[in-house]
Amino acid sequence: MSETLTLKPRHYDKLGVVHCGVGERGFVAVAGDTVTLAKGESHTFPRTGITVTRKGDEYTFTRSVTESRAA
């Protein structure tokens, strides 16, 4: 299972409790870590495990969620 969030430039939101945002010209921030993406590129932020993929002016943030199971 995974959580997703799609943003356009100059917008921000949260994926769970993690702040995610998109600036201009491919600038992306996740929990204070930043990267610049060209169209079609993806990047995984190692600290949070969130992957962001850029498709044109849409940026999709994805994080895998594991369910804890009671024994």
* Token duo for residue 45: 């932020």
> Residue 10 pLDDT more than 70?
yes
Contact 35, 5 (CB under 8 A): no
Give the predicted TM-score (pTM) of the model.
Answer: 0.89
- 26 φ/ψ sector (left φ>0, alpha ψ -120 to 50, else beta): left
N-term to C-term CA, the chain: 20
Determine the pLDDT at residue 65. Answer: 80
The pLDDT-based confidence of 67 (bands split at 50, 70, 90) is: low
Distance CA 43, CA 54 (A): 9
Residue 34, pLDDT score: 98
Give residue for tokens 């990047």: 43
What pLDDT digit, counting tens, does each position of 15-48 carry?
A: 999 999 999 999 999 999 999 999 999 999 999 9
